Structure 1
Amino acid sequence: MADDFATGEISDDIGTRLKLVRQIFGLTQRELARRAGVTNGAISLIEQNRVSPSISSLKKILDGIPLSLADFFTLNFSSSDSVFFAGEELTEISYDPAISMRMVGRKVKGRAMQMLREVYQPGADTGDAMLRHDGEECGLVISGSIIITVGVQERLLNPGDAYYFRSDIPHRFRNPGPEPCVLVSANSPPSF
């Protein structure tokens, strides 16, 4: 095994990546070493880029996380990717002054879902033409009330009520109440 850590088969940045991945998964060097069946010193030396593991040794270490070699080399584990968004960082995507739709993480690359904070002013309506798009949609009413029509079904939802439907079914939203309706929604795949 000692020879496996001196071959230099893998690039010098492996140590930095291993340390970041280990920390993301919440493991200490000692815990990862125990899981992988290697010494704590071996993990430490790799993370300091003082030794370079062979591919088989790296695979054994990654099995302790567990994480595949392919994911280790291809996934973006950058700690600089935005994870948290202040309210003012949410992107407004509605052009209707009576409806606000603020998107979470609009600039996140490769988004598989879309999350919105929606506010419908009293009397606001998404229009007579029903909406349709690919995927699924769900949401939760935070305050106020909203009438949601999905196909031939229609219901008034109040705070705490929720919905979930296939978005290729024609649908629309209307606030019949005297106060703004706030809801949080998600669709997958993103439609904006």
Structure 2
Amino acid sequence: MNTSANALTAPHADAPTKAAEGDSVGAKIRKSRQAARISLQKLAERSGVSVGMLSQVERDLVNPSLRVLTSIRNALGLPASAFFQETAQPAPRDPMFVRRAQQRPRLELGYISKELLSAGSPHNLQLMILHIPAGSSSGDKPMRYQAEKAGLVLDGEFILKVADEESHLKEGDSFVFDSSLPHSFTNPGTTPAQVLWIIGSISVDRHV
């Protein structure tokens, strides 16, 4: 089923923030799709996102929800870190397994932002910090894909819903769940929330 236009715009999202040419989420999606020699129609079939919406996302006319962005990323076979905007390169003296605080790539979606903590090339384990403004959420519809997720609330509060259960989590609370279950989150508070977010890839043979 194709994703509707409304599903691409998260609550309280303003117009997309323009990144430098070639650095925006839309530009990276278009470049990855073209490199893979996949048409918009084929990507729509693989991701469940309509051709019209994919076109708008690639031209940065809309801010895709996390669910839509994840669907596109998975359809292109890209890692969770694929759309982050890189900062300065690591200092030569640092090994590849280190990422300094001032060198964290960011992903700005207007209604939410992420800081990538993982260092080096993509691994099976991705660490990031979600910055969730008051009143914002992951989108109108839940996400789901094969992975394991875990996290820790660093500041503020947010509501995490997994399948038919939900929990109001506050600073210091932690969680872990199967990402193949439908899940979503929202910040019901009056201040921004920061959540350490961990994504662990799951090998296909575990689900055969």
Give the structure-2-normalised TM-score.
0.49
Q: 2:147 aligns with which of 114, 135, 149?
A: 135
Residue ranges of structure 2 left out of the alignment (5+ in a row): 1-92, 203-208
Query: Structure 2: which amino acid aligns with 1:102?
Result: E
CA contact 2:163–2:181 (8 Å) conserved in 1:
yes
* Equivalent in the alignment of 1:155: 167
Paired with 1:110 and 1:182, the residues of 2 have a C-alpha distance of: 23
Does residue 117 in structure 1 map to residue 129 in structure 2?
yes
* RMSD, matched Cα: 1.9
* Equivalent in the alignment of 2:110: 97
Shift of 1:152: 0.2
- Trace 1:32-181 onto structure 2 (pairs within 5 A): 81-93=95-107, 95-105=108-118, 108-109=120-121, 111-181=123-193
CA offsets per residue over residues 96-150 of structure 1, 9 Å max, x none?
22211111236x2351200011110101111111111211000000110000110
Paired with 2:198 and 2:182, the residues of 1 have a C-alpha distance of: 17
Displaced runs of 4 or more, over 3 A: none
Give the structure-1-normalised TM-score.
0.53
Paired with 1:180 and 1:116, the residues of 2 have a C-alpha distance of: 16
Residue 105 of structure 1 aligns to a residue whose secondary structure is coil
Query: Structure 1: which amino acid aligns with 2:113?
Result: S
Residue 88 of structure 1 aligns to a residue whose secondary structure is helix
Paired with 1:101 and 1:182, the residues of 2 have a C-alpha distance of: 9
Change (3 A) 1:168 1:177: same
- Trace 1:1-20 onto structure 2 (pairs within 5 A): none
Change (3 A) 1:189 1:178: same
Shift of 1:159: 0.5
CA contact 2:118–2:128 (8 Å) conserved in 1:
no
Residue 188 of structure 2 aligns to a residue whose secondary structure is coil
Largest Rg, 1 or 2: 1
Paired residues, what number?
110
Residue 102 of structure 2 aligns to a residue whose secondary structure is helix
Shift of 1:87: 2.4
Paired with 1:105 and 1:140, the residues of 2 have a C-alpha distance of: 16
Shift of 1:180: 0.6
Change (3 A) 1:84 1:110: closer
* Equivalent in the alignment of 2:37: none
Shift of 1:88: 2.9
Shift of 1:178: 0.4
